Amino acid sequence: MIKLAARVGIIGPLLFGVILTALTILKYDFLLSLGWHPLYNPTFDWPSGLAFGDYGWIMTLTFLANGFMLTFFASGLRLSLPRSPLTLISTSTLSLAGLALAGLAFTADPTIRSTPAAWHGRLHDLSFVLLGLTFMPALILFGFAFRQDARWRSLSNYTWLTAFSAAPAFGLKGSGFYVFLFMALAWCEVVAIRLRHSNFSNGRPT
């Protein structure tokens, strides 16, 4: 279970990054027509706008798949850390972040539109807010949870650094959002690799 969760944790960020990059290149002109620009207006209907139009279903499935993969990864971390209320809270919060990420599969409303917001657009926006309200606290909690175990302790400060560096970028409507995205994916990748190359079972070697 733990090894499988580690593999899922490694694949998830790579899959998300590759698909995000590929679709952005493929739909570059379409994104520009929405009002997006990679430097001057990078968060204008991006990455959510990748779910519009041709090949949009790929982005929708990516949100959904990565959300459930993050939730499953959190379950593996729960088994790998010492049993404690802190472990339960931190991993549960990360699981909620995964569900919020999956909620981004509800198609967003274009920013420039002549119609009222649709129900799926409201759910998409709510999911985005919930992602920020769960992923950032999860990182802070994991910083403390990792200190419970000598094998995880070296990732504690890195986890806090990720949280405090990425949090402001998450709320920015500019290129700072790239920072949040990169640091969030990198954290998942680093933690998953540590989990993959270690033998953990409820805080005890296996």
Per residue in 128-163, pLDDT tens?
Answer: 999 989 999 999 999 999 999 988 999 999 999 999
- Any domain includes 180: yes
pLDDT confidence band for 197 (50 / 70 / 90): confident
- Any domain includes 145: yes
The answer to whether the beta carbons of residues 159 and 183 sit under 8 Å apart is: no
149 class by beta-carbon count within 10 Å (0-12 exposed, 13-18 middle, 19+ buried): middle
Angle subtended by helix axes 85-103 and 56-80, to nearest 10: 170
- Any domain includes 206: no
What's the pTM value of the predicted model, to 2 decimals? Answer: 0.90
- Any domain includes 55: yes
Rounded CA-CA distance 60/51 in Å is 6
By C-alpha distance, which of 202, 199, 195 is closest to 11?
195
- Any domain includes 201: no
- Any domain includes 139: yes
- Any domain includes 37: yes
One-letter identity of residue 201:
S
Q: Check residues 77 and 167 and name the one with the higher pLDDT.
A: 77
Instruction: Check residue 112 and give its pLDDT.
Output: 87
The answer to whether the beta carbons of residues 49 and 36 sit under 8 Å apart is: yes
pLDDT tens, residue by residue, 91-104: 999 999 999 999 99
Domains in the chain: how many in total? 1
DSSP letter at 82?
A: P
pLDDT, mean over the chain:
91
SS3 69: helix
By C-alpha distance, which of 85, 88, 67, 68 is closest to 77?
88
Domain that holds residue 89: 2-110+117-196
Is pLDDT of 199 > 70? Answer: no
- Any domain includes 205: no
Name the H helices within 37-175.
56-80, 85-103, 119-146, 156-171
The answer to whether the beta carbons of residues 131 and 97 sit under 8 Å apart is: yes
Is pLDDT of 117 > 60? Answer: yes
Rounded CA-CA distance 45/80 in Å is 38
